[in-house]
Amino acid sequence: MKKESRFRIYTDKDADLRFLKEKIIAIVGYGNQGRAQSLNLRDSGLDIIIGLPQKSESKRKAQKDGFKVYSTEQAVKSGDLISVLAPDHLHSKIYQKQIKPYLCPGKTLLFASGFSVHFKLVDPPDFVDVVMVAPHAPGTVTRELFLQGKGVPCFFAVKQDITGEAKRKALAYAKGIGCTKAGAFETTFEHEAIGDLFGEQAVLCGGLSELIRAGFEVLVQAGLPPENAYLECVHQLDHIVNTIKAHGIAGMFDRISQTAEFGSYLSGKKVITPKTKLQMEKVLRQIQDGTFVKRWKRECQRGLKTYLRMKREAKEHPIEKAGKRIRRLLK
């Protein structure tokens, strides 16, 4: 019989900011997550510096927010904890040239996902602590909720504990950005990296967007105006998702009409078939065995040509025009 998972949630009472007090936290990158986490950590009373390339467009924004901005190399030299918040696909280059040469015993490397370490784009030395704190929300939401006295949940993990305090530092960091108010879930770099990529690709972003576009196309081909198709396939998504988050899938069904519920039971499995699940399993295997990461590395090395073409095609889909019209009307 399968053992029940003991999935522990850590909250504010389990985390102590003292483990990061009198330490310098160097944030590498000042984008969506970098800015939000830096502001939250500073508001929590911690000492923050920012590391950016000399020609970074984010430099002025960080300075305007009142932070001391250094070169990435100098920030790594000065920082006790180095939080790597630059985009994942740049980690390897930044790490090799601007971070690794300036690491020394006693420092901590922190990542916002397990991606780079698990897939060996970054190979930390054996004399530093290596931890992960991965908020489950965009940076803007992490900041907004922090200002409201709330937080977003996060995953955290310890890959390497040289000082004996890696877990306590990770939890302190999670508390500093507000995540322990909602809950910090302990995991591994591997599980976070694989789960995150799969969730994005097969369900939340890739799978959902294709499902929405397909439903839109079917209705339009059947003669419905694009605006009707958009409203039916898109507009209530936030209501459905929020209801599922609050009450579960079964609870969502309890809160819609019985007609909608009965039709969903009949039709859902016609859309998501055993063949669909087989394709999802294939997506998972290609994430686990590194096929996806290798393809993404090649794409980055070749100037993102395929990525940019697909992005352009997605923006040109008729559902985008219908959506713009509806959003203008509903303002």
**DSSP letters for 130-158:** EEEEEESS-HHHHHHHHHTT----EEEEE
As a whole number, mean pLDDT of residues 173-187 equals: 97
Is 191 among the domain residues? no
Please count the structural domains in the chain. 2
Please determine, for residue 331, whether its predicted confidence score (pLDDT) is greater than 90: no
Helix (H) or strand (E) holding 315: helix 305-315
Residues paired with 10 in a beta bridge: 184
CA-to-CA distance for 146 and 178, rounded, in angstroms?
Answer: 6
Domain that holds residue 309: 197-329
CA separation (Å) from 225 to 208, 211, 232, 318? 22, 18, 11, 11
Read off the CATH number of the domain in which 107 is found.
Answer: 3.40.50.720
Predicted confidence at residue 61, as pLDDT, reads 94
Predicted confidence at residue 30, as pLDDT, reads 95
Predicted confidence at residue 54, as pLDDT, reads 84
Predicted confidence at residue 1, as pLDDT, reads 43
Q: Comparing C-alpha atoms, which of 250, 184, 145, 223 is closest to residue 7?
A: 184
Please determine, for residue 7, whether its predicted confidence score (pLDDT) is greater than 90: no
Please check whether residues 163 and 224 belong to one and the same domain.
no
Please check whether residues 201 and 133 belong to one and the same domain.
no
Q: What is the pLDDT of residues 233-257, one digit of tens each?
A: 999 999 999 999 999 999 999 999 9
Predicted confidence at residue 8, as pLDDT, reads 84
Assigned token pair, 243: 């209801």
Asked whether 154 and 178 are in contact (CB, 8 A), the reply is no
